[in-house]
Amino acid sequence: MGLTIENILLVGSVLLFISILAGKTSYKFGVPTLVLFLFIGMAAGTNGFGIEFDNPRTAQFVGIVSLNFILFSGGLDTSWRSIKPVLGQGIMLSTVGVLMTAVSVGVFVWWITDFNIYEGLLLGAIVSSTDAAAVFSILRSKSLALKYKLRSTLELESGSNDPMAYVLTIAFLGLVTNPDLGYLELVTLFFSQMIIGAAMGLLFGWISKFSVNRINLGFEGLYPVLVIALMFVTFSFTDLIGGNGFLAVYLCAVYLGNQDLIHKRTILKLFDGLAWLMQIVLFLTLGLLVNPSEIIPLMGLGLAIGLFLIFVSRPIGVFASLLPFKMKMRRRWYVSWVGLRGAVPIVFATYPLIAGIDKANTIFNIVFFISLTSVLLQGTTLSRVADWLKVALPEKLKPRSPLDYFLDEPPKTSMVEVNIPEDSKVIGKKILDVGFPKSAIIAMLRRKGKYLTPNGQTEIEANDQLLVLAENKKSIEDVFQSLHLPVPDMSDD
């Protein structure tokens, strides 16, 4: 059955509905949801129910759009306080680690197959990065709490190493199609992609914060739409001027996620839901693109490369990149084990298909099998290996991320009414600019006998009465300090 305008919505909605139900029950049996999405796509494809989808360009477009949402959502949920201590480790893993993994896999493929060295390195580059969708999805859906800031390290690596893998994929694809390409051009490509991407990410992060907080849209629902527009502008403009759009999008989101924003709760909730939607759409699309009948003859080769990647290449990349840091061996081994491959390598594998190189189909099918093997083998054992290596953290000690805070707020148990005097320093300031503590909210504002429901854009006026709900007495003290008011004596409360 071919996809037409008449049936694409029906087929798509049915597959989406089935995927959601499958995802709801999959972890009951220890199977990652992403694998279910892939299998549903494959079952609906040419060798299953007969949906004909053989368009790598469309799959690549869906992949790029989906990765924008997935990386942006992951960045919004990344606390700068949590990643700052592991920034060096994350950068080394996402650059040196990815490079060493790509080279070692490439040499292995060149050694055991009829691939030339550039084709082997191309395949190695495609599977060299950990997959943000897989890591974010599995770690967060399992609520896996880890010691020693390992989770921050893993999420930082998975969110920031796709740009390196992308640059290596483009570089080695260029060598496959043009072996005379100069190495100086490749080095220049790498540095321009990374430097421009990082600079544009931070620049657009600041622009996005300014736009969200200063543009009065009038409707709360429009603010997430504005952020989506800014996200795509960040990616496309960075790519247009020769930078790495994926890196820019991730850094822009990390910057935004650690700032005070108007309607931040709404933005975080929407992007969390969109990230799940994009993961489902991405894996369904890639599942439809794959023909199981073409994978079966390559299963032996794919398994050999996949096991070499998991047990040899990934450890080489991790141990080499973490040499400058003090880290116990069991922690290094766990970082190595969470080298999940998922949708990103499959998306990158569409580039050789579009370029039309000789072994493009073979590379695509091998990459698909490697990703499937990785998610099945590593994704199902993350909790067990964490317990075995003694790096799991008790659930009660699990750190809170920005998204955790907004989606699972603790109850506010203290209440106080704050009067703003006529000589207050905060008069004329917006609530957003006051530095109000996140552990408290202004539930109601009384002004000239009328009651208002304030938001971040509301300007404070003289004689305003604020009804504040807070988690505890310490939060109330922080409220008075942010408003430049003397802290009342609460010893008898």
Q: Quick check: is 62 in a domain?
A: yes
Residues 61 and 204 in one domain: yes
What is the CATH number for 229?
Answer: 1.20.1530.20
Is-contact 419 486, C-beta < 8 A?
no
Alpha-carbon distance of 480 to 468, in angstroms, equals: 10
Per-residue pLDDT band for 122 (boundaries 50, 70, 90) equals: very high
The mean pLDDT value for 397-411 works out to 48
More confident residue, 295 or 404: 295
Mean pLDDT of 193-213: 93
* Pair 390, 430 in one domain: no
Structure tokens at 341: 């491959």
Whether residue 219 lies inside any domain: the answer is yes
Query: Residue 32 falls within a domain, yes or no?
Result: no
In the predicted model, is pLDDT for residue 117 greater than 60?
yes
Q: Total domain count for the chain?
A: 2
The residue that leads in pLDDT, 433 or 103, is: 103
Does residue 186 sit in the same domain as residue 141?
A: yes
- Pairwise CA distance, residues 107 & 98, whole Å: 14
User: Residue 143 region, left (φ>0) first, then alpha (ψ -120 to 50), else beta?
Assistant: left
Residue 227 has what pLDDT?
95
pLDDT top residue among 480 and 228 = 228
Give residue 129's domain range: 55-402
Q: Which residue has the tokens 């680690």?
A: 97
Give 433: exposed, middle or buried? Use CB within 10 Å, 0-12, 13-18, 19+: middle
Task: Give the CATH number of the domain where residue 421 resides.
Answer: 3.30.70.1450
**Is 28 inside a domain boundary?**
no
pLDDT for the residue 481? 82
Q: What pLDDT does 408 receive?
A: 46
The 10s digit of each residue's pLDDT in 355-383 is: 888 899 999 999 988 988 888 888 778 87
pTM: 0.77
Q: Annotate 275-315 with DSSP letters as a single string.
A: HHHHHHHHHHHHHHH--HHHHGGGHHHHHHHHHHIIIIIHH
Task: Give mean pLDDT, residues 393-412.
Answer: 50
Query: Rounded to whole angstroms, how far apart are CA atoms 216 and 445?
Result: 20
Q: How far apart are CA 392 and CA 385, in angstroms?
A: 9
Which of 355, 370, 402 is the C-terminal boundary of a domain? 402
pLDDT tens-digit map of 237-250: 999 999 999 999 99
Q: Is the torsion defined by CA of 103, 109, 112, 115 positive or negative?
A: negative
Q: What percentage of the chain has pLDDT greater than the value 70?
A: 85
The 3-state DSSP composition of the chain as helix, strand, coil percent (nearest 5) reads 65, 5, 30
Q: Is the pLDDT of residue 280 over 90?
A: no
Distance CA 296, CA 44 (A): 18
Please check whether residues 317 and 425 belong to one and the same domain. Answer: no
- The pLDDT, as a whole number, for residue 48 is 63
| 438, 320: one domain | no
Question: Is the confidence at residue 398, as pLDDT, over 60?
Answer: no
pLDDT exceeds 90 at position 101: yes
Confidence (pLDDT) at 455: 74
334 and 365, same domain (yes or no): yes
* pLDDT reported for residue 320: 93
Dist. CA 336–CA 330, nearest whole Å: 10
pLDDT at 285: 82
472 near 433, Cβ under 8 Å?
A: no
Q: Outline where DSSP puts E strands in 363-464.
A: 414-419, 440-447, 450-452
Whether 238 and 366 map to the same domain: the answer is yes
Q: Is residue 70 part of a domain?
A: yes
Identify whether residues 438 and 376 lie together within a single domain.
no
Burial of 186 (0-12, 13-18, 19+ CB in 10 A): middle
Q: Quick check: is 36 in a domain?
A: no
Q: Is the pLDDT of residue 341 over 90?
A: no
Q: Which range, 39-48, 209-218, 467-476, is most confident?
A: 209-218
393 within 8 A of 143, measured Cβ to Cβ: no
Residue 491 lies in a domain: no
Mean predicted confidence (pLDDT) in 473-491? 78
18 is a domain residue:
no
Query: Once rounded to an integer, what is the mean pLDDT over residues 441-469?
Result: 81
My answer on whether 347 and 466 are in the same domain is no
Please state which of the ranges 143-157, 167-181, 196-210, 373-387 shows the lowest mean pLDDT.
Answer: 143-157
Shared domain for 461 and 382, answered yes or no, is: no
pLDDT tens per residue, range 133-142: 667 666 665 5
What pLDDT score was predicted for residue 475? 78
| 97 plus 133 within the same structural domain | yes
Residues 448 and 394 in one domain: no
Sheet holding 465-470, edge to edge: 414-419, 465-470, 440-447, 450-452
Cα 363 from Cα 347, distance rounded (Å): 12
pLDDT value, residue 29:
46
User: On the CB side of 414, how many CA atoms lie within 13 Å of its CA?
Assistant: 16
The segment with the largest mean pLDDT, out of 181-185, 304-308, 412-416, is 304-308
The residue-averaged pLDDT of 203-217 equals 90
- Mean of pLDDT values over 199-222: 89
